[in-house]
Structures are given as structure tokens and as C-alpha cells.
């Protein structure tokens, strides 16, 4: 049983580390600040979640569990908030002119809105 839990920890934490690596690779490879923000917020959210999940069997119940999950939730909340603030700070003022590809996104109800700005 102990061995199984330890194996679970190793697998989950390793997977988490892979997602952290993915976030960093995205940070380096993605073309601009906003796409890099995507990489960091989403991959690190999942990576931290997997690390926390993997550490649960090693923590003392129940206080250790609650503490680990609280850390994850706090990181989620701050990541979601800071991500939006950074995105708002760096977006170009002509957001709908510069990045929208040739055709507006088809097949969803908001396509007219996307081109009516300014």
C-alpha cells in the first residue's frame, strides 16, 4: 500500500513537472506576451494541481491535505487575477485590428461584434 502511494506520488509529481516544463517551453516559444500568458496560466495551473495531488499521500490527514489544497486554490486565484491584469496592461489598443486573422471567426454568434469596435 505504501509502495503504491509512493508510486502514485512519483507519477503525479513527474506529470506535474512536465506541465511546468510545457509552460516554460510555451513562454519561450510562443510569439507574443498574450499567448505566453496562456501558456503560463494554464499549464502551471495543471502542473501545480498534479504536484499537489501527488503530495497528498505524503501529507498528514486532514490538516496537511487542507493546507496543500488551500495553497493550490490560492495559486489559482492569484494566477487568474494577475493573468487578467497583465493581459489588460499589454493588449494593444487596436485589439480587433491587429490580431484577428483575415476572416473573422465564423460559426459563432459574436462574429459581428468582433469587427465593430472603434
Partner 1 sequence: MHANQHPTRSPGRLKFTDAEPTAAAPSVLAALARGAGFFGFWLLLARPGTDAPSTPDLAADLVVGLLAAAAAAWVSLRLLPPARKRLHVGALARLAVHFVWQSMVAGVDVARRAFDPRLPLNPGYLAYPVRLAPGTGRAAFGAVTSLLPGTLPVGTGADDALVYHCLDLDQPVAAGLARDEALLARVRGGGGSCR
3-state secondary structure (DSSP) of residue 30: coil
Query: Which CB atom, from 6 or from 100, has the smaller least distance to partner 1?
Result: 100
Query: Residue 91's Cα: distance from chain center in Å?
Result: 19
Binding to partner 1 by residue 22, rule CB under 8 A? Answer: yes
Query: Which CB atom, from 57 or from 69, has the smaller least distance to partner 1?
Result: 69
Binding to partner 1 by residue 58, rule CB under 8 A? Answer: no
Residue 25 cell numbers, joined: 517551453
Report the nearest approach of partner 1 to the CB of residue 13 (Å).
15
In this structure, the number of other CB atoms found within 10 A of the CB of residue 8 comes to 15
**Contact of 114 with 105, CB cutoff 8 Å:** yes
Binding to partner 1 by residue 1, rule CB under 8 A? Answer: no
CA-to-CA distance for 83 and 111, rounded, in angstroms?
25
3-state secondary structure (DSSP) of residue 26: helix
Beta strand extents in the chain (DSSP E only): none
Binding to partner 1 by residue 13, rule CB under 8 A? Answer: no
Query: Which CB atom, from 19 or from 54, has the smaller least distance to partner 1?
Result: 19
**Footprint of partner 1 (CB under 8 A):** 18-19, 22-23, 25-26, 29-32, 34-35, 37-39, 41-43, 45-47, 49, 63, 66-67, 70-71, 76-77, 79-81, 83-84, 87-88, 91, 95-96, 99-101, 105, 107-110, 113-114, 116-118
Amino acid at each position: 500500500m505504501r509502495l503504491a502511494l509512493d508510486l502514485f506520488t512519483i507519477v503525479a509529481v513527474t506529470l506535474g513537472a512536465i506541465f511546468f516544463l510545457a509552460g516554460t517551453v510555451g513562454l519561450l516559444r510562443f510569439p507574443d506576451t498574450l499567448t505566453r500568458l496562456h501558456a503560463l496560466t494554464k499549464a502551471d495551473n495543471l502542473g501545480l494541481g498534479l504536484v499537489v495531488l501527488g503530495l497528498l499521500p505524503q501529507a498528514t490527514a486532514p490538516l496537511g491535505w487542507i493546507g496543500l489544497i488551500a495553497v493550490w486554490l490560492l495559486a489559482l486565484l492569484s494566477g487568474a487575477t494577475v493573468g487578467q491584469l497583465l493581459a489588460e496592461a499589454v493588449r494593444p489598443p487596436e485589439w480587433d485590428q491587429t490580431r484577428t486573422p483575415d476572416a473573422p471567426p465564423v460559426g459563432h454568434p459574436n462574429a459581428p461584434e468582433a469587427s465593430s469596435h472603434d
